[in-house]
Structure 1
Amino acid sequence: MLNNLKRWYRSTVLRDTRIPFQLWQQSTRMLSLFNRLNTRQLTRLRKLTGLFLHEKQFTAAAGMALSDKMRVQIAAQACLLILNRNLSDFDGWYEIIVYPDAFIVEYEHVDEAGVLHSSERTLGGEAWGKGPVILSWADADPEGQGARHFGSNVVLHEFAHKLDMLNGVANGMPVLNKDMKREDWTRIFSCAYERLLRELEHGYHVSIDPYAAQSPAEFFAVVSEYFFMAPEFLQKHYPGIYREVSLYYRQNPLKQV
């Protein structure tokens, strides 16, 4: 019943949330990852992005000047992840916070002796379980993509974490589609992750961003970046991962060209 009401509500507000064509064109022309989409897919993406912007709150932090174009660019990339899924995958939270540059986050943890430790990290993005997605515009700006490593996209990365968190925790095991097998996902992802750890331990050159080795959750977020930003590369180096991620996102970028 609740899902039916939500679908009715979204279909009702859709006509009021359509992004003006000129704004859509200005916002997406720098986003090369949309070049693989056909007209039908781009139309659906525009609708999803409009609904996303209607349901989420964007907050500018630390003096950030946040324009409509920036909001659309962030929202459109987030919605690419759910192009063939459901907008409800992003339910349960409502805010995106955007800083002009990298931001500092304080962490606390208690060690085995019961001693409390505090530390700081400088980040370009972060996703909280039921809380906001936080982004640095310096890292998210499509016109600045060349300054980061091959296959990188901080927006895709953080929103992939949000999808991973649908099962209650970010652990690299998102809620799989009914036509997927949990044992296949676990086997393929575990083997690939352990291979990456071994390569780094022995000082070998690794094919993807070494940050993926931080945890299974980071591995999933990183391969999600590559899936959309460099699908040929991911398919070549991690064919099993490419297949599973393709099933999960219900997309195949290599066949959308």
Structure 2
Amino acid sequence: MKWFHLIRRWRRWRATRLPFPNEWNEILNKNFPLDRTLSQEDRHRLRYLIQIFLYEKNIRGLNGLAITDEIRVTVAAQACLLLLHLDEDDFPNLYSVLIYPTAYEASHTEYLEGGLIRESRDLRLGETSKRGAVLLSWQDAKYGAADIHDGQNVVLHEFAHQLDLENNVADGAPLLPRRSMYLAWARVFSKAYSELQKDIEHHHKHVMSAYGATNAAEFFAVATETFFEKPLALKNQHFELYEQLRLFYRQDPAKRARNIDRKS
């Protein structure tokens, strides 16, 4: 275990020994406006995390997509936003990020009663594999980075799943900083999940996407998107849910949003 930590530290040093390239800063300025809302300390931390991410993760294009620095940095910035104040500085179970040019078709197997199996294909913007891979549509990843207020971001969504899977179970409960937090987390998330399902059933408007009503894992991923992109609305409508996410991510996007409003 000691050797593992020494190798890890050496790899971190290798990844961050050189200054953050100016070309990458230009990409962030152009493609990721949320970066400009961060404090100087957080912007520095984000760049450190991006360097580690791009050094350690295999990013590969599919269906003829040529991987450029624009793609790498834009995706990494969004993923690393989740890690900004967490104790860990990477996604330990992730090895590869596979990127399609646009939304892609994938097969889906559904097991029905009586031992029947139904095969289908659907169009996807992204997905997370338990085998250490995230799949993304570049078109949608770029759009999500550019529009930071619509509450929809496929990169935040899929990498929230990565955090959820760190305990090897996709159940909407990631590894929390303290064991004492799990009881409140379960109570708040169960209540909010049930409320979303009822709102969808009765065709009521909700700050979160209806996709969050699919299951507990999707609820956490959609809640994460909303937390970072519609923080004021989420805090106003679901204060307890916002607080649980704030305690987990150790970030306060609503405070950042209010600071921007005061400056503008």
Secondary structure, aligned partner of 1:29: helix
Matched letter for residue 34 of structure 1: D
**Distance in 1 between the 2:27 and 2:75 partners?**
13
- Summarize deviations over 1:161-214 as a string: whole Å, max 9, x none: 000011112111111111751110000000011011111222222232111111
**Distance in 2 between the 1:224 and 1:188 partners?**
14
User: Is the 8 Å Cα contact of residues 18 and 46 (structure 1) preserved in structure 2?
Assistant: no
Matched letter for residue 251 of structure 1: Q
1:193-212, aligned counterparts within 5 Å? 193-212=193-212
What percentage of residue pairs aligned between the two structures are identical? Answer: 37
1:129-140, aligned counterparts within 5 Å? 129-140=130-141
Give the aligned partner of residue 126 of structure 1: 127
**Distance in 2 between the 1:143 and 1:156 partners?**
9
User: Is the 8 Å Cα contact of residues 103 and 124 (structure 1) preserved in structure 2?
Assistant: yes
Matched letter for residue 184 of structure 2: D
Secondary structure, aligned partner of 1:58: strand
Q: What's the CA shift for 1:12? A: 2.4
Give the aligned partner of residue 113 of structure 1: 114
Q: What's the CA shift for 1:32? A: 2.3
Moved more, 81-90 or 152-161: 81-90
Q: What's the CA shift for 1:252? A: 1.2
**Distance in 2 between the 1:130 and 1:113 partners?**
29
Give the aligned partner of residue 188 of structure 1: 188
**Distance in 1 between the 2:87 and 2:7 partners?**
11
Matched letter for residue 106 of structure 1: S
Give the aligned partner of residue 255 of structure 2: 255
Moved more, 222-231 or 13-22: 13-22
Give the aligned partner of residue 164 of structure 1: 164
User: Is the 8 Å Cα contact of residues 49 and 79 (structure 1) preserved in structure 2?
Assistant: yes
**Distance in 2 between the 1:164 and 1:144 partners?**
22
Give the aligned partner of residue 39 of structure 1: 40
Matched letter for residue 25 of structure 1: E
Q: What's the CA shift for 1:150? A: 1.9
User: Is the 8 Å Cα contact of residues 102 and 136 (structure 1) preserved in structure 2?
Assistant: yes
Moved more, 226-235 or 175-184: 175-184
Q: What's the CA shift for 1:140? A: 0.8
What residue ranges of structure 2 are gaps of 5+ in the alignment?
Answer: 260-264
What TM-score results when the alignment is normalised by the length of structure 1? 0.91
Give the aligned partner of residue 55 of structure 2: 54
Secondary structure, aligned partner of 1:85: coil
* CA spacing shift, 1:103–1:13, aligned 2, 3 Å: same
Matched letter for residue 102 of structure 1: A
Give the aligned partner of residue 151 of structure 1: 151
* CA spacing shift, 1:158–1:114, aligned 2, 3 Å: same
User: Is the 8 Å Cα contact of residues 28 and 35 (structure 2) preserved in structure 1?
Assistant: no
Matched letter for residue 205 of structure 1: K
How many residues are treated as equivalent by the alignment? 256
Secondary structure, aligned partner of 1:90: coil
Matched letter for residue 182 of structure 1: Y
Give the aligned partner of residue 67 of structure 2: 66
Q: What's the CA shift for 1:89? A: 5.0
Q: What's the CA shift for 1:27? A: 3.0
What TM-score results when the alignment is normalised by the length of structure 2? 0.89
**Distance in 1 between the 2:134 and 2:25 partners?**
22
Matched letter for residue 162 of structure 1: Q
Matched letter for residue 154 of structure 1: V
Moved more, 183-192 or 231-240: 231-240
* CA spacing shift, 1:228–1:119, aligned 2, 3 Å: same
